[in-house]
Amino acid sequence: MEYAGKLIRGYLLSYSGLLAVSLIFSYLANNYSSTPFITESPTLFHGLIVAPSEEMFFRYFVPLLLMYFGFPYLLGSCMVAAPLFAAAHYWAYNNNIYAMLSAFTAGCWNSMIVYKYSGREPFNFSPGLLCAMLGHASYNLTVTYMADRMLEISVITALLWALFEIYFRRVEE
């Protein structure tokens, strides 16, 4: 039950957070920039192949390599992997600074999700990495097929996360 609880909570928090990050930076771009916020136009391929691959590389491989050299997970993930994640989206976002900041923030967000919902002693990536993969894939699919409903979906998933957080904390006590 503990694994399932972490997986559900981590997924909901990742998904709602990624939607919120995108909405915040889209708002900033539209109000303070003459350059429109351009998101990639992901397809099913981006949801099922690209998102998990990016999470494996930027939330697992790069931080694991840095952990080998003594960096704590969050430091390596947010200070090295998240900027690399933003740089990897340079062409997809047409050099839009708000989109790049959005990708950086999303990278840090999912790094925190991986850390929060993973085992500690010794650190392992389960189920936190799967939470980040599912949240990223859901985000890509949402911006493809339901971009006009991102705010509502973000609020609903954040509320569901809060309800599950309360429920599983009581169950785990």
Domain-by-domain residue ranges, the chain?
2-32+41-172
Please list the residues that pair with 118 across neighbouring strands. 127
How many angstroms separate the CA atoms of 133 and 50, rounded? 10
- Would you say residue 35 has pLDDT above 50? no
The predicted structure's pLDDT at residue 92: 80
Q: Which of 138, 136, 165 is nearest to 149 (CA)?
A: 138
Tell whether the model's pLDDT for residue 155 goes beyond 50: yes
pLDDT on residue 73 = 94
* pLDDT for position 1: 60
Q: What is the average pLDDT across 162-170?
A: 93
3-class secondary structure, 118: strand
Confidence of residue 14 (pLDDT cuts 50, 70, 90): very high
pTM of this structure = 0.89
User: What mean pLDDT comes out for the span 42-46?
Assistant: 65
Name the average pLDDT for the chain: 88
82-131 tens-digit pLDDT: 999 999 988 888 888 888 999 999 999 999 999 999 988 778 999 999 99
- Residue 78 CA to residue 133 CA, distance in Å, equals 17
Categorize the per-residue pLDDT at 147 as very low, low, confident or very high, splitting at 50, 70 and 90: confident
Sign of the Cα pseudo-torsion (77, 61, 94, 45, in order) = negative
- Please, which pLDDT band fits residue 32 given cuts at 50, 70 and 90? low
According to the model, what pLDDT value does residue 160 have?
97
Do the beta carbons of residue 115 and residue 128 sit within 8 Å?
A: yes
Instruction: Cis check for the bond before 127: say yes or no (omega within 30 of 0).
Output: yes
